[in-house]
Amino acid sequence: MDERQPRYAIAECVVTGYAPWGILVTTDAGRHGWVAAEYLADGTIRRDEWPAVGTRLTGVVLGYTHAGRIRLATIPSYVAALRDSTDPAAAARLWAAERRH
């Protein structure tokens, strides 16, 4: 599990639990991490709307903690914007700029 997926890579994961600030996940590669609540969906969702444990999600790698935990975003429009992009960093900037308007 020493290999890390690069920032903006697409990662498949499963919801394994909950924390006060978001959901806990394990990627198909076996890396443990989380999705913060603000990165779960397009718009705000209540905690009782968070994906159930066992739900498979597709996310975008945001980075890693010092302890090696993966941080993901599963916002559908973000995943879609980066999934097929040849320049995911540029796609991420464009998505963020459009979202601010």
Q: Provide the token pair at 25.
A: 């996940």
pLDDT of the chain along its 101 residues, tens only?
Answer: 568 999 999 999 999 999 999 999 999 999 999 999 999 999 999 999 999 999 999 999 999 999 999 999 999 999 999 998 999 999 999 998 988 76
Q: For the chain, how many residues are written?
A: 101
Among all chains, which residue has been given the structure tokens 């973000």?
Answer: 78
- Its pTM stands at 0.91
DSSP the chain: ----PPTT-EEEEEEEEEETTEEEEEETTS-EEEEEGGGSSSS---GGGSPPTT-EEEEEEEEE-TT--EEEE--HHHHHHHHT-SSHHHHHHHHHHHHH-
List, in order of start, the domains of the chain with CATH numbers: 10-100 (2.40.50.140)
